[in-house]
A and B are shown apart, each in its own frame.
Chain A
Amino acid sequence: MTTTISERDVALVDLVDRLLGGGVVIAGDITLAVADVDLVYLSLRALVTSVATAQEKELLPRMGEAV
C-alpha cells in the first residue's frame, strides 16, 4: 500500500472496506459469512488508532452532550 496522503493506520479502515466489502465474487467458499464480516469489521475497526478515528471518537461525546 502506497499511502499518498495519510498514514497506514488510516489506510487500514479503507483496506477493511475494500477486502471485506469489495472485489469480484467468485463461486466458492467465502470463508467469512456475511454476519462474520460485520464482526471482523467491528473488531478490526476497534484496532484502528488513526488520528482520524481518534478524532471521530473525540467528537462523538461532544455530540452526545449536545443531545
Chain B
Amino acid sequence: MIELYAITDHPGPPLPDVGPLNAVATEDLAAVCAPTSDGEVSPDALWRHEDVVEALMEDRDLLPVRYGTRLEDESAAVRAVAERYDELAVALDRVRGAVELSLRVLVADEPTKATRQEPATGAEYLRAKTRCGVERETAVRILHEPLSILARASLQASPRSPSELLRAAYLVDRPTVESFVGLVARLQSVHPGLRLLCTGPWPPYSFAER
C-alpha cells in the first residue's frame, strides 16, 4: 500500500529528503506518495504527515491530499489522478503561489458587567445570547473583512464553542504572508479583549476542493 501526500506539477524540483517519497506522473501532474503501513492515528502521526507536505511546499505549489488516502500501488495512483485530472489541474492553478493561514478568535476575558451581574432570568440569558451573536458579527466586520482584503480567497467555518467568535481560513499569496501576519498582530493589539490565534503558513488544505 502507498499513501498519497500531495498533487504537484510534473516535472518538479527534486523531492525533499524526508522519507522514501516518489512522484508518480500523470500527464503534467504528479502524485507524491510513499509506502505506508497501518498505524494509529495520533498527533505525532499527523505531524509527521504534515512535515512531509510542508517540506514539499517549500519549493513547489501543491494540493495537499486528504489524510489517510491509501492506494494499492503506484499504477492505482496514476489511474486515480487521471480520473480527476481536469479538476485537479484547475484546483492546483487556483492555489498556485499561495499558502493558507488559519485564524481563530476567542473571547479573552468576560465583560466585567457579566461577572458583576449574572443573568438570573430567561430573558437575561436570551439577551446574553443575542450579545454573543452581535459579537460574532462584529468580529467578522472588524477582523475577518480587513484580513480578507489581503487574501486571494477566504472562508469561515462555524465556531465550535460559546467563546469562539470566528474560525476562518485565508488563501494568501506567499509574498503577502508577512503583511497578513502583521495585520493580525495590529488587530490583536487594538482588541486586547480578544485572543487572535493565527497559525500557518499551511498547505492550502481548506482551498483544495473549492
Q: Give chain A's interface residues, CB within 8 Å of chain B.
A: 1-6, 10-32, 40, 44, 47, 52, 55-56, 59-60, 62-63, 65-67
Contact = CB atoms under 8 A, between A and B. Distances in A.
Chain A at the B interface: SS class:
helix
B41 A40 contact: yes
Interface in B67-94: 67-71, 76-77, 80-81, 83-84, 88, 91
A55 B196 CA distance: 13
B112 interface: no
B50 A24 contact: no
A17 B159 CA distance: 12
Contacts, number: 161
A23 B199 contact: no
B115 to A, nearest CB: 8
Contacts of B184: 4-5
A38 B88 CA distance: 27
Nearest to A16: B46
B140 interface: no
B63 A52 contact: no
B4 A28 contact: yes
Nearest to A2: B201
Given A11-B199, A56-B161, A1 B88 contact: no
B185 A22 contact: no
